[in-house]
Structure 1
Amino acid sequence: MEQDQTQDQQPQSLADCYREAEVSRLALEGSFEAQSPEKRDALSTAIAAYRACLARISAASVFSPNETLEDVRTDYLPFLLTEHHLAGLLQKQPTTGPRARAAVLDESRACYERFLHLLDGYEALGQSQARLLHEYDGAPRMFSTLPSDPARRRDTKIAAFRREKDLRAKLEALKSRSRRARQGEDEGGDGDDVAEEYARPVYMTQLEMAADEALQALESINREEEVLAQAPEPLMSTGTTVEEDERRRRAQEDADGASRLDRPLRRLQSAMGGPLLNKAGKPLQPFTIVGSRDELAKGVFRPGHNLPTMSIDEYLEEERRRGGIIEGGGEASGRIPEPDEDDEEKADAATYKARQWDEFTEANPRGSGNTLNRG
């Protein structure tokens, strides 16, 4: 009994702490954000476990800048992934707004940076990975793993996809060989030595894949931060209720005197907020001037559209008076009325008009006025 209590009181080893953190992380795989309370608790537990691992690694000085990757023990290689796994878990935290999300992304970015620089210090990065990390250090907020040229961009995406596929296939093959080695299926040499011989390539391949994922995650963080920079702030915090917001609005109206129509000009505010006039009297926003409170009150219940000011008959009469309506025309206007033989005055007027026209044509023959032969 006393021995069991003594074992429970013994401090947890780094390997056990990392193993528990891995179990918690693997249980959350496949979920982007922890929405349910159970998922949130599991996520918090996993994050706390990895933070505890980082504290133990720092206290024990597991990794030293004076070492090379060959000097690191095989069973210590998985601990290099602690910052990488912690960064991925931090990104899954649910947030309530753009500012909170930006803070989470900054913390995750810092973890990815520490992970990549740790591998770079051990010269564990490939040539292309080291080049991308150098580009990131030069301009972190502008970093991208893809070139700007569309053709090269497509080729880079295809190459990255094939590389990821090959690394996953290689990792599965190495894991299978490592499992067989642990089970003693391979012959030759001590079992532990054989297991370590196959386990080290597995860890190295995992580090190579994690470095690619970290570089892509940094690019993804940059794109998300660009979107968050354009996102508006929420008008009302999530914790407030409609009743609280209504009470706050009424208190603000009472304090500002917004219910009064004849308040001073310096306190006039438009619906969009802000003063209507500047100090020089220049309008800053559109507004409507009314003569009195009664005139403003009359317009409260009026229709939203403009009403007609006259009837249709009145409009037609006004158009006729202005000469806007043409009367007559058509076939009837071309018909010559029959002369009335009983109306002597009209007959005399027509005869007189015809006689005048005959006299004019005799006195002015055709072409007599065109002396210069024009036209």
Structure 2
Amino acid sequence: MSDDDQPQTLKSVFASAEKKRHTLENSYEASSPTYHDDLRTAIAEYEACLEIVSRAALFSPNEFLEDLPTSSLPYLMITSHLADLHQKAPSRRPIERRVNLERARESYETFLGLLDSYDLLSEDNKKLYSRYTDDSVAFSTMGGVDPAKRRDTKIANFKAERALKQRLETLRRDPRYQDDEGDDEIVRDLHLAHAAYATHMAFQGLEGINRELEVLAQATVPLMPSPTSVEEDNRRRAEDRTAEGFTDRLEAPRRLHSMFGQPGGPLLTKEGKPLQPFTLVGNRQEMAANVFRPGHNLPTMSIDEYLEPDEDDFDKADEETMKARAWDEFVEANPKGSGNTLNRG
């Protein structure tokens, strides 16, 4: 899709959201009202960008990375930025924190699904993505329980993060990127490097979300009622029930989606647990043979074949009847005690 086909408001809304996000990253007063207002505004603007991207069909499952113009690459990062902002959202109660963490998880999954659809994941990241789809709740970048192996993995993750960050800064300082017109090749490399760095941080973020949810699951619920009024308590319960991302029902297995709505990831886990709905079908030859079959169900046996089991039952009943009659005749012909007239025992 060319730049002319893109809605004119997408660039301005995205630029405004980016400006607020950079302000939040450089702010150290997370408790100030201004910080909270900027955070809510940034989340709302990124969500507006997602709606514009969806309406404009900016990303398509039929495209390859080479088909994407350089101007569209920054919008790959929208869900990654949303995940970071959801994790920064303030929470007064554990239920609010869980909702924010689940929103961040969903944004990370959408981001990774989009990059996977454009084959932007490295081989190592593809392995991590496969491990995550197998068991998202127990996912960890430091697989295994061996302390030495976990330490080596942690060091490798730190080195990889530092290398990606250094490459990103090097590209940003390149004069060809800082030029007003900008070299398309270096700008494209910068956006792809940013996506690679965000991918690394997404897996780190998913691991952190799992660990934090484990802690929240062990949080004790206060037994004594709070000093708030009954109306306030009921209002908070209603907010918890209607909060987006919270439900008292058992959730279906999570399905990963890209930004264009296509389900991604494998169908089954290693243990055979389904991750998303699917339909079992036969081979191609069987499907082709059934194309011209009648719309109604055809009989599978003849009438004689259907009645054959009943005929076998009739024969068996006749055998039981004849056996009973023979026994009755024997009893009548041989009364009890007739064979022992001398009472010998």
Q: TM class, shorter-chain normalised?
A: 0.5 to 0.7
Distance apart, 1:195 and its partner CA:
1.5
Indicate the residue corresponding to 2:183 in structure 1.
195
Alpha-carbon displacement from aligned partner over 1:158-193 (angstroms, at most 9, x marks no partner): 11111111111111111111x445537xxxxxxx4x
Correspondence list, 1:3-152, <5 A = 13-30=9-26, 34-147=30-143, 148-152=145-149
Q: Is the 8 A contact 1:34 1:43 kept in 2?
A: no
Distance 2:209 2:27 in 1: 18
Distance 1:221 1:33 in 2: 23
Change (3 A) 1:33 1:137: farther
Aligned to 1:96, what secondary structure does the other structure show? Answer: coil
Change (3 A) 1:38 1:208: same
Change (3 A) 1:153 1:196: same
Counterpart amino acid of residue 179 in structure 2: Q
Distance apart, 1:31 and its partner CA:
5.4
Alpha-carbon displacement from aligned partner over 1:48-87 (angstroms, at most 9, x marks no partner): 1101111101110100011111111101101000000011
Indicate the residue corresponding to 1:229 in structure 2.
217
Aligned to 1:142, what secondary structure does the other structure show? Answer: coil
Q: Is the 8 A contact 1:96 1:238 kept in 2?
A: no
Distance 2:29 2:223 in 1: 24
Q: Which of 206, 228, 251 is the equivalent residue of 2:194?
A: 206
Distance 1:232 1:46 in 2: 33
Distance 1:163 1:221 in 2: 20
Distance 2:161 2:93 in 1: 34
Q: Which of 201, 218, 236 is the equivalent residue of 2:206?
A: 218
Correspondence list, 1:190-339, <5 A = 192=181, 195-235=183-223, 240=228
Change (3 A) 1:33 1:103: farther
Change (3 A) 1:238 1:84: farther
Q: Is the 8 A contact 2:16 2:45 kept in 1?
A: yes
% same residue:
46
Alpha-carbon displacement from aligned partner over 1:76-126 (angstroms, at most 9, x marks no partner): 101000000011101111112111111111111000000001000100001
Distance 1:156 1:94 in 2: 31
Q: Is the 8 A contact 1:33 1:93 kept in 2?
A: no
Distance 1:109 1:97 in 2: 19
Q: Is the 8 A contact 1:167 1:209 kept in 2?
A: yes
Gaps of 5+ in 1: 1-10, 185-191, 246-375
Q: Is the 8 A contact 1:20 1:49 kept in 2?
A: yes
Q: Is the 8 A contact 1:145 1:215 kept in 2?
A: yes
Change (3 A) 1:94 1:105: same
Q: Which of 146, 152, 155 is the equivalent residue of 2:152?
A: 155
Distance 2:92 2:225 in 1: 9
Distance apart, 1:233 and its partner CA:
2.2
Distance 1:115 1:51 in 2: 13
Change (3 A) 1:152 1:41: same
Change (3 A) 1:182 1:66: same
Structure 1 segments of 4+ aligned residues over 6 angstroms from their partners: 236-239
Q: TM-score, normalised by structure 2?
A: 0.61
For structure 1, which segment, 112-121 or 35-44, has the greater mean C-alpha deviation from structure 2 after superposition? 35-44
| RMSD over equivalenced CA pairs, Å | 2.3
Indicate the residue corresponding to 1:358 in structure 2.
none
Counterpart amino acid of residue 210 in structure 2: N
Q: Is the 8 A contact 2:177 2:187 kept in 1?
A: no
Gaps of 5+ in 2: 1-6, 234-345
Distance 2:87 2:225 in 1: 22
Alpha-carbon displacement from aligned partner over 1:1-31 (angstroms, at most 9, x marks no partner): xxxxxxxxxx852111111100010100055
Indicate the residue corresponding to 2:261 in structure 1.
none
Distance 1:126 1:167 in 2: 13
Report how many residues are paired.
225
Bigger Rg, which one: 1
Q: Is the 8 A contact 1:90 1:108 kept in 2?
A: yes
Change (3 A) 1:83 1:181: closer
1:175 matched to 2:183: no
Q: Is the 8 A contact 2:91 2:97 kept in 1?
A: yes
Distance 2:159 2:118 in 1: 26
Q: Which has the higher contact order (CA 8 A, sep 6+)?
A: 2
